[in-house]
Structure 1
């Protein structure tokens, strides 16, 4: 295959351009290949290789918060000598999709998702019992920005804040939603495979996905990259203690700053006074700190109490399970 005028490989272009606007058509890989100057088989084979090396977790949907199932951010203070063992126990729970060591006395942070609040409560109770350690639960109150798409070639740009809560996924559509979060099969007509499994037409599948995208129920549909594997290896969660009457205004401003990938309000917890959170991902610690300090200044948060918690180790990173029942 001839070199692309940009000098970038097909894999590099797919990683960047395939995260949003993935074709919703009978033969999406052929359509994407046409746009990228490649054949259908070349696109499929490249996606297979990207998945095998962990650069992408799947080609599928990223749900808006609150459109189905339940999720909680949790934290634990684990004695350093027990951290790996406790992290392994936490990661063993199928609903845990992100599990990180962070630079803080609360040193193990994980997200757990499930089809409802009851399964989450049962799993967290089990984690507390198995480890003999308390689990701090930090429920989301309001999302301001949720966007883990990464432009691999351009500097961080301003985003937009979430202004409305999108409609939830109807129970009748949960089977399709489970497929959307699990990811497309890497075959020429992947949506037809889904249609056969659901007993409907490909047109029905494509129309429902487009409806979710138009309504904001799906934030995007496309390649879901794993940020460490594509070079964004330094991530920092920053937490702020903001007066409850002002937190929404600050959150909306913070969400629009360049480099902010996640921004949301959470409930405070016993011994944890922070209620505004944001995430910044960079290629180095210095780059991440530069983006973060600029975002804090741009949002008018420089005088507010806050802490920066860089990740040290990633123990687990998989897709959320809002619609797939965990074993």
Structure 2
């Protein structure tokens, strides 16, 4: 089904390029915005000003790193069933936690869904325990067990043209960035590196030499800072470095979490096939939480309209035979919080 993307009027041709072309491959050099300026035939100051405007308009969340799940600290998708008359109060309590980066109301008995990130599993447990204590609502915790496609990038050219990268292209791109799937895979980070990550999570300052400012905050020079980021990308700790856009504000307002209960022996193969589908923006296996939550295969589909998303979901489910298994579709209906994941924070490093 063709997609439609209604961008805000403020997004002119140059702004479109700034949003789309540097979601990946952001220049890792002393003056990255000068390099981008050359590509779009603008000057450095104009590009920096444009990114500041896009951030102020809510179209850009940050410019910086998307870290690989389970390679840094601990994280989990979690949900609770808030009484309808207390939903906003419960959501406010959840969003108050710095460790919560996404908090959505969804159409389900479990009506509040949020992502928790923390420096350690113990700290994550403390956060969830505090939410349960303060709200009186039991929380189901659904940690990631296997990732099939987690990138958090949106190709706006593909969206606007009514197409997405095909299955073969998607699989090829994933194969080039395949990562070990065990929690904490890779080398141990030094305390200095962890301090740098804690600062980097918030994104780069939108100024001429952002890496110099980033490094200075934790005692590194500019060259060291850039080299660490390059190394983390090569190791797979950083999945993507660039512009992180906000999909709601860019017109992708229909957001469905599609879930299935797949036999354990079959879920990995089906998950890899599902992740290659053009409509799928995220795809992963999560631990069940029985008896309340039997589903273990998740994918996200984003679109401009509900019927568009449902049509795409129905088509991929038909093609893969997914609806032979128990399933559900949970549309988001309200966004209470959306920020970058905060795995580490200076005040929380003691928990690691």
TM-score (norm 2): 0.87
The residue matched to 2:294 in structure 1 has which SS? coil
> 2: distance between equivalents of 1:148 and 1:299?
23
Instruction: Give the equivalent residue in structure 2 for 1:284.
Output: 305
Query: In the alignment, is the contact (CA less than 8 A) between 2:117 and 2:343 conserved in 1?
Result: yes
Instruction: Give the equivalent residue in structure 2 for 1:175.
Output: 195
1:247-284 per-residue CA deviation (whole Å, 9 max, x = no partner) reads: 11111111111121111111111221111111111111
Instruction: Give the equivalent residue in structure 2 for 1:100.
Output: 104
Q: CA deviation at 1:292?
A: 2.1
Query: In the alignment, is the contact (CA less than 8 A) between 1:264 and 1:278 conserved in 2?
Result: yes
Instruction: Give the equivalent residue in structure 1 for 2:179.
Output: 164
Unaligned runs of 5+ in 2: 1-10
> 1: distance between equivalents of 2:41 and 2:99?
39
> 1: distance between equivalents of 2:312 and 2:12?
26
> 2: distance between equivalents of 1:210 and 1:297?
41
> 2: distance between equivalents of 1:311 and 1:187?
35
Query: In the alignment, is the contact (CA less than 8 A) between 1:258 and 1:291 conserved in 2?
Result: no
TM-score (norm 1): 0.93
> 1: distance between equivalents of 2:108 and 2:187?
35
> 2: distance between equivalents of 1:121 and 1:62?
23
Instruction: Give 4+ residue runs of structure 1 displaced > 6 Å after superposition.
Output: none
Report which of the two has the higher share of helix: 2
Task: State whether structure 2 residue 213 is matched by structure 1 residue 193.
Answer: yes
> 1: distance between equivalents of 2:318 and 2:227?
43
> 2: distance between equivalents of 1:81 and 1:266?
30
Instruction: Give the equivalent residue in structure 2 for 1:246.
Output: 266
Provide the alpha-carbon RMSD of the alignment.
1.7
Task: State whether structure 2 residue 125 is matched by structure 1 residue 121.
Answer: yes
Q: CA deviation at 1:107?
A: 0.7
> 2: distance between equivalents of 1:231 and 1:76?
28
Query: In the alignment, is the contact (CA less than 8 A) between 2:81 and 2:112 conserved in 1?
Result: yes
Change (3 A) 1:326 1:72: farther
Unaligned runs of 5+ in 1: 1-6
> 2: distance between equivalents of 1:139 and 1:187?
37
Instruction: Give the equivalent residue in structure 2 for 1:4.
Output: none
> 1: distance between equivalents of 2:67 and 2:287?
21
More divergent stretch after superposition (65-74 vs 192-201): 192-201
Q: CA deviation at 1:110?
A: 0.6
1:150-203 per-residue CA deviation (whole Å, 9 max, x = no partner) reads: 111212223235743163661341122122211111110111112323333322
Change (3 A) 1:68 1:168: farther
Task: State whether structure 2 residue 206 is matched by structure 1 residue 206.
Answer: no
> 2: distance between equivalents of 1:11 and 1:92?
32
Change (3 A) 1:293 1:215: farther
